[in-house]
């Protein structure tokens, strides 16, 4: 009896009470327990490799060379931004939705992202004669997969709310392919600009639906600077010097296009924030995180240059549509970590790692992610010195 009235014990009880009050009032400060990811090849951890068209190249070395030492279906030499985010949150790498049955343990999250996927449905491009031969698994299909999964994720519907409240929903990057296909098939800039509001609408309505299903933390990335991509620099090579940014060598009008998409996306996110004050909608600024590499490649250890691809079949940017990475005729550079560009479209693990760091600890998540559970493991790796 003596102990319960002792000052120490009372103090301890009080602390526990304060802690309990604090943790229920600020439930966002819980650890996240799962991640649900939607998107395209920037986030695909093994879905599109199940589709024969993609398996032809991403299923071969040197994809996966640096980190996993085998092709996993990731469009890089190693890990992706989503892998680093999972790692930072103390979660395992996300299993792909279309993975093998032994891999279908989704209680800590699942990845619906598919390489080649578009925000708009495949039929949209088919009607306009824009070729998309890689996949029909657009954002809408991925959202349907999510809905199909609910009965097994939370057989008791109220449990969904509990799970989703402590989940991060990564919606994108998506939309890049909606522009890649027509740009690389040389459609006009004017025509492609008309797609932007439709793409934004598709992303926005997906975010809105997920919030209605109980999502509370959503991360929505913008587009990368496509004017710095070896594929664009090669296919849309310009004879006019003034089309290029003299500092970076990137095609300025294409980066302006990415910025246009990103500005429209930000407006849409603001609209959704006003509609859903309880949800935290985080914009992930992939564009500016990556622009740092093109402006100051050596600062990040990119001594191989920022715009020349590590893996490719020759040409000024080591990007050759007749010998893409993973196909015959392509070769890999000595050290992928000294390059930003992996295969001319996707980035290297080293670049993705810097971006993830710049999101989680740097200024490129807005607002920043609130969780007491960030892994301290990679503090040595900081976007800003």
Ligand X SMILES: *[C@@H]1O[C@H](CO)[C@@H](O)[C@H](O)[C@H]1NC(C)=O
The region of 10-18, 287-295, 314-322, 371-379 touching ligand X under the rule CB under 6 A is 314-322
Cβ-based neighbour number of residue 102 at 10 Å = 7
Binding ligand X by CB under 6 A: which of 329, 363, 367, 377?
329
- CA–CA gap between residue 385 and residue 378 (Å, rounded): 14
Q: Return the closest-CA partner of residue 73 out of 90, 52, 89, 92.
A: 52
Task: List the one residue from 41, 167, 223, 337 that touches ligand X (CB under 6 A).
Answer: 337
Q: Which stretch binds ligand X (CB under 6 A): 105-113, 149-157, 311-319, 359-367?
A: 311-319
Does 26 sit near ligand X (CB under 6 A)? no
The number of residues that bind ligand X (CB under 6 A) is: 18
| CA distance linking residue 275 with residue 327, whole number of Å | 47
Q: By CB under 6 A, is residue 320 in contact with ligand X?
A: yes
Least Å from the CB of residue 326 to ligand X = 13
Among 37, 45, 118, 338, interactor with ligand X by CB under 6 A: 338
Closer residue to ligand X (CB): 106 or 213: 213
Minimum distance, C-beta of residue 6 to ligand X, in the bound complex (Å): 37
Which of 106, 121, 136, 154 touches ligand X (CB under 6 A)? 136
Q: Any contact of residue 140 with ligand X (CB under 6 A)? A: no
| 343 catalytically annotated | yes
- Classified as helix, coil or strand, 42 is coil
Q: Which of 202, 258, 346, 357 is catalytic?
A: 346
**Region of 89-97, 140-148, 263-271, 307-315 interacting with ligand X (CB under 6 A):** 307-315
Binding piece for ligand X, criterion CB under 6 A, among 129-137, 175-183, 225-233, 364-372: 129-137
Rounded Cα distance, 163 and 92, in Å:
16
Taking the C-alpha atoms of residue 167 and residue 217, their distance in angstroms, rounded to an integer, is 7
Class of residue 276 by CB neighbours under 10 A (exposed 0-12, middle 13-18, buried 19+): middle
Catalytic residue among 44, 77, 83, 343: 343
With binding defined as CB under 6 A, does residue 53 bind ligand X? yes
Q: Which residues in the 154-183 window bind ligand X by CB under 6 A? A: none
Of these, 154, 160, 323, 374, which contacts ligand X (CB under 6 A)?
A: 323
Q: Which of 122, 150, 192, 374 binds ligand X (CB under 6 A)?
A: 122
> Pick from 197, 259, 198, 194: which is nearest to 226 by CA?
259
Of the pair 86, 233, the CB lying nearest ligand X is at 233
Q: Number of helices and strands (H, E) in the chain?
A: 14, 8
Interstrand relation of 167-171 and 109-111 (parallel, antiparallel or unpaired):
unpaired
Told to judge if 346 belongs to the known catalytic residues of this protein, a careful annotator would answer yes
CA-based nearest residue to 93, from 339, 293, 349: 349
Query: What's the CA angle centered on 192, arms 187 and 194, to 5 degrees?
Result: 140
CA distances from 138 to 212, 239, 326 (A): 20, 35, 24
Q: How far is CA 36 from CA 47, 50, 250, 259, in A?
A: 14, 19, 33, 26
Binding to ligand X by residue 335, rule CB under 6 A? yes
Q: Name which of 102 and 278 has its Cβ closer to ligand X.
A: 278
How far, in Å, CA of 304 to CA of 341, rounded?
10
6: tokens are 């002792």
Note whether 210 and 257 are within 8 A (CB). Answer: no
| Residues within the interface to ligand X (CB under 6 A) | 53, 122, 133, 135-136, 278, 301, 303, 313-315, 320, 322-323, 329, 335, 337-338
User: What residues act catalytically?
Assistant: 41, 343, 346
């Amino acid at each position: 009896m003596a102990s319960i009235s002792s000052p120490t014990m009372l103090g301890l009880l009080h602390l526990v009470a304060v802690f309990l009050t604090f943790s229920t009032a600020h439930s966002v400060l819980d650890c996240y327990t799962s991640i649900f990811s939607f998107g395209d090849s920037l986030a695909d951890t093994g879905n599109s490799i199940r589709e024969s068209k993609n398996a032809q190249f991403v299923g071969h070395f040197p994809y996966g060379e640096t980190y996993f030492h085998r092709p996993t279906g990731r469009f890089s030499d190693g890990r992706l931004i989503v892998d680093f985010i999972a790692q930072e949150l103390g979660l395992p790498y996300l299993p792909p939705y279309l993975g093998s049955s032994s891999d279908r343990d989704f209680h800590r999250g699942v990845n619906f992202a598919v390489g080649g996927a578009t925000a708009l449905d495949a039929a949209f491009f088919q009607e306009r004669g824009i070729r998309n031969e890689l996949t029909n698994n657009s954002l809408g299909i991925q959202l349907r997969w999510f809905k199909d999964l609910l009965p097994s994720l939370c057989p008791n519907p109220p449990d969904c709310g509990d799970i989703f409240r402590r989940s991060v929903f990564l919606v994108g990057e998506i939309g890049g392919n909606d522009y890649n296909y027509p740009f690389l098939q040389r459609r006009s800039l004017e025509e492609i600009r008309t797609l932007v509001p439709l793409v934004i609408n598709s992303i926005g309505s997906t975010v809105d639906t997920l919030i209605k299903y109980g999502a509370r933390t959503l991360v929505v990335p913008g587009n990368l600077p496509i004017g710095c991509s070896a594929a664009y620099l090669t296919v849309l090579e310009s004879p006019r010097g003034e089309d290029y940014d003299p500092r970076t060598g990137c095609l300025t009008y294409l980066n302006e296009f990415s910025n246009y998409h990103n500005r429209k996306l930000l407006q849409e996110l603001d609209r959704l924030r006003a509609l859903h004050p309880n949800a935290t909608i985080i914009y992930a600024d992939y564009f500016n995180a990556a622009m740092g590499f093109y402006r100051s490649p050596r600062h990040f250890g990119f001594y191989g240059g920022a715009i020349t691809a590590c893996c490719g079949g020759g040409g000024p940017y080591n990007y050759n549509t007749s010998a893409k990475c993973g196909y015959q005729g392509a070769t890999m550079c000595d050290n992928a970590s000294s390059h930003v560009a992996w295969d001319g479209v996707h980035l290297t693990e080293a670049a993705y790692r810097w971006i993830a760091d710049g999101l989680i600890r740097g200024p490129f998540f807005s607002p920043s992610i609130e969780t007491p559970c960030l892994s301290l493991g990679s503090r040595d790796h900081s976007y800003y010195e």
